[in-house]
Amino acid sequence: MPEALLIVGLLVAVFVGYNIGGSTTGPAFGPAVGAGVISKATAAALMSVFFFVGAWTIGRRVVDTLGSDLVGDPGVFTLEASIVVLLFIGLALFVGNYAGVPASTSMTAVGSIAGLGVATGELQWTVMGEIVTWWIVAPVVGFWVSGVIGRYVYPTLNKWVALHSTEGALVEVDRSGAIPRPVRGPNTSDKEIAGATVVVFIGCVMAFSSGTSNVANAIAPLVGSGELEMNPGIVIGCVAVAIGAFTIARRTLDTLGNDITDLPLTAAIVVATVSSAIVVALSLLGIPASFVVIATMSIIGLGWGRATRSVTVSEVRKGEESPRVSVGALAADEPGEAAPEIGEEGPEDIPQASDLFDPETTGRVILMQNVVPLLSTVGAYAAFTVLYTFWW
């Protein structure tokens, strides 16, 4: 019986890891894929490698602590309880991935464990309150920082960086020699290569960060129960994440790279920089970083800021008491083309807001990212209440 339960637990852990790969690949590499820098397959490969590095090095520390910080008695993580916790994590994440919306694995996992803690009376409310507070503050910061950049700084930043996704591939494979080697695409500039490198690098950093925290969401209950050793657990979790990155993550890559907002290369750099900086700051504070939500809100914030840019005429006509204001003007995105002076935009410089920011998709994303953790929390609480009352 214990062996059969362990097999069930491993299968559920793999299911959780599969959905982690689906939900975290989009926020890490969605900007790069949306900007046409790398393909979905390359994004999945990079996610797999750097997730494993993060999990193998720092992630084991999170595995050791996840089961003891939120619950007063780690003994509640029996094999049966661990399976139930993992099951609700996996099912909730699957709902988000099926809807094409990447949900936070940290929020979902903590929610499921919190459901166990409340049902058994072992939840540490102080720790939970601190974590939830940062989960609320961090996405808001990401949205407004990116929104301010998009609304007031983006045109100047784009002029400095002068990045634009040219037609054709950034890099091609030269097969003329004995050994194939990568070469620059026919229309690729030095600045475009540099910008693409930055976007991919930051995505790799985010994938590494995901590995340090999210591998625990898949295996911590089983490791904490003593039924699974640390190193085999990390390998199993990372393989499952890789499978998810190559399969179901394609839906979340579409959502974060294309559906929410149009992301030229400069915008991709902004989103990746803002979201990764916030994730690193939260990690330094010891808070499980919900970088899925932070990155998503950064993308939404930048799209909203660019679509609602305020422009004020610098010269007030004689006899007028206040300057004229127009809303929605944006600078041109073509490399080498100077941004028009504020107040001097022409009709060609003012795209429709719907071209840069999709409110319908945005609403769906925000709704699902709140519903998914709620599903794991309420479901786990209800299940453990029933189990501890009538069964265990």
Q: Is the pLDDT of residue 369 over 80?
A: no
What number is the average pLDDT over the span 156-165? Answer: 66
Phi first, then psi, for residue 71 (nearest 5°) are -120, 140
Q: Retrieve residue 276's tokens.
A: 């990764």
Nearest to 20 by CA among 90, 125, 111: 90
| Spatial distance between the Cα atoms of 257 and 272, rounded to a whole number of angstroms | 12
pLDDT tens readout for residues 72-96: 776 777 788 888 888 887 777 777 7
State residue 336's pLDDT score. 39
Domain count, the chain: 1
Q: Is the pLDDT of residue 341 over 50?
A: no
* Dihedral class, residue 123 (left if φ above 0, else alpha if ψ from -120 to 50, else beta): beta
State residue 241's pLDDT score. 95
Side chain identity at 6, as an amino acid letter? Answer: L
In the structure, what pLDDT confidence band is assigned to residue 322 with cuts at 50, 70 and 90? very low
34 contact partners, CB below 8 Å, separation of at least 6: 253, 256, 257, 258, 263, 268
In this structure, of 125-139, 158-172, 232-246, 370-384, the range with the lowest mean pLDDT score is: 158-172
Please, are residues 170 and 37 in contact by the beta-carbon 8 Å criterion?
yes
State residue 310's pLDDT score. 54
State residue 167's pLDDT score. 62
What number is the average pLDDT over the span 346-371? Answer: 58
In 124-212, beta strands by DSSP E: 171-174, 181-184
Q: Which domain holds residue 154?
A: 2-390
Average pLDDT, the chain: 74
**Between residues 29 and 143, the one the model is more confident about:** 143
Residue 286's CB is within 10 A of a number of other CB atoms, namely 11
